[in-house]
Amino acid sequence: MNGSNHSLAIRGTTLSVALLIVFLTAWQWGPGLLRIPPFIIPPLSAVFNEAVRMWNVSGLAFHTGITAAEVLAGFILGSLLGASIGYLIGMSPTAEFALSPYILALQIAPKVAFAPLFILWMGFTIYPKILVAILIVFFPVMVNVLTAIRTVDPDLINLARAFKAKRAQIFWRIEFPASLPPLFAGLRIGSTLAVVGVVVGELVGGNAGLGYLLSFGEGQANTAMVFVAIVMLTLVGGLAYLLVILIELRVLHYLPKRAQMGF
């Protein structure tokens, strides 16, 4: 990293930390100054105290672990399925013609509607939550991979064919490497959407996880508990996103740093 990029990173980090401090300060004292009742927006200290109580009494660590495991499983399976279908229909016009109507119908159907159906089929287990996450993660990953395969330079493919390259060689030498940046862009989106899918499943029919705590806090009119669940869900999603970025930096090490870290 040169001096200019290093200076830019320092300024960006400093500004980000300053904004966080301003936000936390406003959260702590803003509701009181604006005379907002604590049952609507509790101050930061009340949320922190509730988090400590939930950690010691309500099994916050256990529920966070359940949600994180469901997010990881749904994200991995949804990404693998989306990438596989994206490569398949990107390389085969016949497969695209046959599968596109069904994939489009699956995407149009609201994912929330599938959660009660999955619960009826599999009960109050982790599987309905993982399935909803798979459905949500699948489409952005598939679309990014499909778009990447379609935009590969045809001259490169024709050149490879002129040198008698086999179909598998064309895929692994040309199409797959070209699809990696868009694939990781889809994975970034999928890592956050996986949290949404899991929470939807836990809200509809969960007996464990942060979505369950969210629903329980709502039923108890415990606003601080709801905020704690939201913060923990944000942390889970942020860690999933960070994991994708770290893998991307390792795999796409040949790209400029700014291109890798861009949102």
Reported as a single tens digit per residue, the pLDDT across 96-120 is 788 888 888 877 878 778 888 888 8
157 against 135, higher pLDDT: 135
Checking if the pLDDT of 44 tops 80, the result is yes
Contact 76, 243 (CB under 8 A): no
CA atoms within 13 A on the CB side of 147: 12
pLDDT at 172 (0 to 100): 83
pLDDT for 5 equals 61
pLDDT of 236 > 90? The answer is yes
Is there a contact between 84 and 142 (Cβ–Cβ < 8 Å)? no
- Residue 19 reports pLDDT greater than 70: yes
Residues 65 and 72: their CA atoms lie apart, in Å, by: 10
Query: Residue 151: its pLDDT value, please?
Result: 84
Handedness of CA 198, 199, 205, 209 (dihedral sign): positive
pLDDT at res. 221: 84
Residue with tokens 């999955």: 118
* Residue at token pair 């009119």: 221
What percent of the chain has a predicted confidence (pLDDT) above 70?
94
What mean pLDDT do residues 196-205 have?
A: 87
Instruction: Decide if pLDDT at 255 tops 80.
Output: no
pLDDT range class, residue 52, cuts 50, 70, 90: very high
Q: Are the C-beta atoms of 260 and 248 separated by less than 8 Å?
A: yes
User: Looking at residue 96, what is its pLDDT?
Assistant: 77
Distance from the Cα of residue 222 to its chain's centroid:
27
Round the average pLDDT of the chain to a whole number and report it: 85
Closest to 253 measured CA to CA, from 157, 201, 180: 180
C-alpha 58/C-alpha 249 separation (Å) is 38
Check residue 263 and give its pLDDT: 53
Residue 101 has a pLDDT of 83
Q: How many residues are listed for the chain in this entry?
A: 263
What pTM, to 2 d.p., does this model score? 0.85
pLDDT at 248 over 80: yes
pLDDT digits (tens, 9 = 90+) for 61-77: 999 999 999 999 999 99
4, HSE (Cβ side, Cα atoms, 13 Å) = 2
Range scoring the smallest mean pLDDT among 107-121, 141-155, 237-251: 107-121
pLDDT score of 194 more than 70:
yes
